[in-house]
Amino acid sequence: MRAGKLVSNRCCVYTRALVLIIWLAGSGHFQSVGAQLNDRDSQFTEALVTAFKNADTSVKRRIISTLKDIGEPVVPLLTDALDDPSEDVRRDAAVVLGDIGKPAQSAIPRLLQTLSDESRAVRQKAVTAIGRIGDGQEAAERLVPLLRDSSQAIRKETARAIGRIKAFSPEVATALLTGLEDNKKDVRRECAQALSRLGSSAIPHLRMALSSASQSTAPTLLRVIGDIGPEAVPVLIEALSHPVSGVRREAADGLGDLRVETPEAIAALISALSDPSDRVRMEVVDALGDAKATSSDLPGALKVTLRDPSDDLRQRTVEALGEIQVAPHTVVPLLVEALGDSDKDVREEAADVLKRLGASK
């Protein structure tokens, strides 16, 4: 009696799966298989896999579209689907594996093979999936050749995927550095973001690359280094003396973004106030203000830029005088002097800063 019930129950399970598949195939509005299937219903999973293998392309695609919420139990089914004769099925399987994310780790070897798929659309979705699932240097390095793909979309998605994996190796970093020279802006941007996500272990490699980078690439590379975080401060300080003005400007901007107020950084920024480039001097003044620096040497140094020929630089100097953390009596005379500036914006900014300083007393 019990055996008969077991057979009956199994048949019922298979019947449920097959009825569901048939309904999915013919319905224009279908619900999620996830509502019917979970990892505790292994018989139903088995039935679904069997039905999937025997289904036509349209039914397979409907099934795949409903599997995201089920997660790891359907990863083998989706992995097998990467070998399907239909390009659409292979592409959809890669998409859902990426949506499942880290629980789909077992699919990585097959996804890596899919990078050589004859379909550009399948390759692109496989790249995306690896970026969402992958973990480790091997996955990142296997993606590297696709940074040279003829498709802009694939190059862009490859850089993004490598950035998500965040695994540094000289090979990965070198490939992304080459991508900074790509003829498409979107690809260059993704390569830059990926480089900044490689972390502090990439800084020595990037620092060496900076010494030989072209004038067009060097500023972007330094911005990447600065985006890594506080570990990049020594490189940013050193770059304030770089021969390319764009690099010096990015160095000052990076120090300002990091709110660096170490004595070494402040001293380097003060020295850079005499930079021959107006744009560099502006970034230096902004960085000193952003850092809310406390050096007693600042008022005397900013006095020079308060008399600069550039209206914008004088206005930024006034703003910085309101931000630095020094004794008010050393700043007020400079602000009073700025009240007589030839530029209206400078005068108004000086008045506003004096007002704020008065209110803070």
Please give the domain boundaries of the chain with CATH numbers for all domains: 1-135 (1.25.10.10), 294-361 (1.25.10.10)
pLDDT at 31: 43
What gap in Å lies between CA 295 and CA 288, rounded to an integer? 10
Radius of gyration for the alpha carbons in the chain, expressed in angstroms and rounded: 30
pLDDT attached to residue 256: 93
Q: How far is CA 81 from CA 25, 34, 84, 93, 133, in A?
A: 18, 18, 5, 6, 17
Report DSSP letters for 58-79, one per residue. Answer: HHHHHHHHT-TTT-GGGHHHHH
Can you tell me the distance from the alpha carbon of 284 to that of 249, in angstroms, rounded to the nearest whole number? 8
Tens-level pLDDT at each residue, the chain (361 residues)? 444 444 344 445 444 555 455 444 444 444 444 444 444 456 666 777 777 888 889 889 988 887 877 788 889 999 999 999 999 999 999 999 999 999 999 999 999 999 999 999 999 999 999 999 987 888 899 999 999 999 999 999 999 999 999 999 999 999 999 999 999 999 999 999 999 999 999 999 999 999 999 898 999 999 999 999 999 999 999 999 999 999 999 999 999 999 988 999 999 999 999 999 999 999 999 999 998 888 889 999 999 999 999 999 999 999 999 999 888 889 999 999 999 999 999 999 999 999 988 754 4
Q: Supply the pLDDT for residue 269.
A: 95
Two tokens, residue 356: 């704020």
Q: Is the dihedral of CA 349, 350, 351, 357 positive or negative?
A: positive
Task: State the SS3 of 194-245.
Answer: HHHCCCHHHHHHHHHHHHHCCCCCHHHHHHHHHHHCHHHHHHHHHHCCCCCH
pLDDT at position 70, please?
A: 79
State the amino acid at position 53 in one-letter form: K
Residue-level pLDDT at 44: 65
For 300, residues 6+ apart whose C-beta sits below 8 A from its C-beta are none
pTM for this structure? 0.76
Query: Phi, psi (5° rounding) for residue 14?
Result: -65, -40
Q: Note the pLDDT of residue 17.
A: 54
pLDDT at 130 (0 to 100)? 96
Residue type, 303: K
Cα–Cα distance for residue pair 202/198, rounded to 1 Å: 6
According to the model, what pLDDT value does residue 20 have? Answer: 55
Tell me the CA end-to-end span of the chain in Å, nearest whole number. Answer: 92
**What is the rounded distance in angstroms from the CA atom of residue 199 to the CA atom of residue 163?**
10
Which pLDDT score, from 0 to 100, does residue 334 have? 95
